Structure 1
Amino acid sequence: MRNTLSTLCENFIENRETIKATFRWESTELYSICAALFTDKRQKADANKMIYCRDIFKSQVGLFSNFRGTIKLVMICMMAIDSKPEQKLKRTLDAYSVLKGHFFSSEYLPLTSMIISDLVSSDRYNNIAERTRHIYKLMKDAHPFLTSSEDSVFAALLAISDLTDEQIVMETKCCYDFLKPEFFSRDAVQSLSHVLALGEGKAEDKCRKTIALFNSLKEKGYRYGKNEELATLGVLAMLPADSDSVINDVIEVDNYLSAQKGYGLFGIDKKQRLMHAGMLVASDYIDNPNNLTMGSAAIGATISLIVAQQAAMCAVIAASSVSASSSSSS
């Protein structure tokens, strides 16, 4: 395993253990996702700063607010990653107040607000909120039974992109229709289609590469998940890199994770572990242009991949929060 990827893996495990020790009663899925957030930014999780951010969060957010939902740990960690967490939360609350004028309240709207406040200036909040609502409506029109509140996150990322509304509709539809026969979960296919829409290249090419990666891993004895895991597979498929190299990297990282605490026989299942491996590999490629097959398209694609990786992370966060809600109610 190359040095950059090995370091990333070690930091991921260290971050996961730090977060777990600091917040003991959260879901296992969220520990890994929060660890990936820190690792993706090349930061070490700091227990004192996370507690500090938790206290700020509690002081600024009402007891019955949607901010207190199952993804509150994600937002606390996103605050801790920022050099000015108080300002980050203020920007998030400002964006949230704008979004509430366009969406019904849900626990996903705070996450959407935090992402918007990260990616655009405050003078654009209203325009982005309006476009997010419009794109969400297009999603709902295309798939009324599949589209729900968690898709507002994808709608926001697409709204921030340079794609026109027509391109978004065409890209996502083409990807969805192409991928639907291949995978069981239509919800997961819709999320994957949204991620692929953010990347450069022809829709069919991106879909074919995604399917090829899935099948190649399966042939080597690594069964990639067909649910929320698919969004990360889409990011891997869009890497302007040699597919065999990407697959070998994913397998190396998966083998490393399998020997770590929490990933063994009674830990996180193999499909989620493979997804975590994919997230780390994608992060390493995106952060290291030397790993990419560089060309005029590759440089531009790197920018799209950063957004796509965020979208993939959002898919996992949304799925993790649903899992946590189901566990707490059972």
Structure 2
Amino acid sequence: MRNSLSTLCDHFIENRDNIKKTFNWESAYLIPICAAMFANERQKPDANKMKHCRDILKEQVGLFSNFRGTGKLVMITMMAIDHNPEHKLENALEVYSSLKKHFFTSQYLPLVSMMITNMAGSVRYDTIAARTRHIYELMKHDHPFLTSSEDSVFAALLAMSELTDEQIVEETKRCYDCLKPEFFSGNAVQSLSHVLALCEGIAEDKCRKTLTLFNALKERGRKYGTNYELATLGVLAMIPADEASVIDDILSVDRFLSEQKGYGIFGIDKKQRLMHAGMLVTSDYIGVPDGLTSSTAVNAAMSLIAAQQAAMCAVIASTSAAASSSGSGGA
């Protein structure tokens, strides 16, 4: 395994274990995602800072606020990553107010709010919120039975892209039509199509690369998940690197994770483990600036970063929904 990737893997496991010690009652599915978020920023979680962020959250939002719902640990993580968590939450609440003018409140809006504060200036909050709603309506028009509040995450990412609304609709549709015959879950394919729409390139080529990667991993004995994991596959397929090298890296990280506590028989299953491996490989490639000497290369890297955030938010949203559903079932 390459040194940079090996170091990233070690940091990921260390981050996961440290977060678990501090928030051991939180979801076993969310903790690795938060660990990966710190790893993406090449940061290590500070227990005292995370507790401080938790306290800020308690002080600033009510007990029944969606900021303190099933995705609370994600909110804490996003604040802790920032150098000024108080200001981060203040901006997120401002975006949240703008979004609530256009959306019914949901557990996904805080994720969208935090994401927008990372990628946009405050003068654009109202404009982005309105465009997010418009893009969401276009999604719903094309797929009324598939589109739900979870898709507001992707709508926000697309709203901050340089694509026109018409380009977004066309690109997403072409990707969806190309991929749907290959996968059972229409909802997962829709999420994957949104991720691919964020990346540069011809729709058919992007879909072909995604399917080639999926089949190549399957041939090597690793079947990639086709539910909420699918969005991260699109990110991997768009990495500007040799496909064989990417596959070798994924398999190396997957083997490493299989030897770690929490990924065994009674831990996280093989499909999620492979998704975590893919996220780490993507993070390693994105974190390497070598070769980004042209504007085209820089734009491609930025597209990958945006797509990775979208994929991670999809995972967070899905695991949050699963946790919520489980809690309701036991009531």
TM-score scaled to structure 1, two decimals?
A: 0.98
Structure 2 letter corresponding to 1:58: K
Q: Deviations over 1:227-253 (max 9, x none)?
A: 111111100111111111000000000
1:169-203 CA-to-partner distances (Å, cap 9, x unmatched) read 01100000100011111111000000000000001
CA contact (8 A) 1:236 1:282 kept: yes
Distance (Å, rounded) in 1 between the aligned partners of 2:289 and 2:42? 15
Q: Partner letter of residue 260 of structure 1? A: Q
Counterpart of 2:86, as a letter, is E
Alignment deviations for residues 2-43 of structure 1 (CA, whole Å, 9 cap, x no partner) = 110000000000010111111111111101111111011000
Secondary structure, in 3 states, of the residue corresponding to 1:171? helix
CA distance in 1, matches of 2:183, 2:29: 22
Residues 139 and 125 (structure 1), Cα distance of their counterparts in 2 relative to 1, 3 Å cut: same
**When the two structures are aligned, how many residues end up with a matched partner?**
329
Aligned pairs for 1:20-31 (under 5 A) are 20-31=20-31
2:318 alignment partner in structure 1: 319
Which residue is 1:310 aligned to?
309
Give a deviation string over 1:42-83, Cα, whole Å, max 9, x none: 000111110000000000011121212110110111100001
**1:179 aligned partner:** 179
Q: Which residue of structure 2 lines up, in the alignment, with residue 53 of structure 1?
A: 53
| Distance in 2 of aligned mates of 1:275 and 1:34 | 14
Q: Is the 8 A contact 1:33 1:313 kept in 2?
A: yes
Structure 1 unaligned runs (5+)?
none
Q: Which sections of structure 2, spanning at least 5 residues, go unmatched?
A: none
- Equivalent positions of 1:1-330 (< 5 A) are 1-290=1-290, 297-330=296-329
Question: SS of the residue aligned with 1:161?
Answer: coil
Q: Which residue identity does 1:126 align to in structure 2?
A: D
Task: Find the aligned partners of 2:277 and 2:295 in 1 and give their Cα distance.
Answer: 28
- Residue 266 of structure 1: how far off its partner (Å): 1.0
TM-score by length of 2: 0.97
- Structure 1 residues 295 and 217, CA gap change in structure 2 (3 angstroms): farther
Q: In the aligned structure 2, how far is the partner of 1:99 from the partner of 1:21? A: 34
Partner AA of 1:251 in structure 2: L
CA distance in 2, matches of 1:151, 1:72: 19
Does the CA contact (< 8 Å) of 1:240 and 1:293 recur in 2? no
Per-residue deviation, 1:296: 6.0
Q: State the distance in 1 between where 2:65 and 2:225 align.
A: 33
User: Residues of 1 paired with 2:136 and 2:241: CA distance?
Assistant: 32
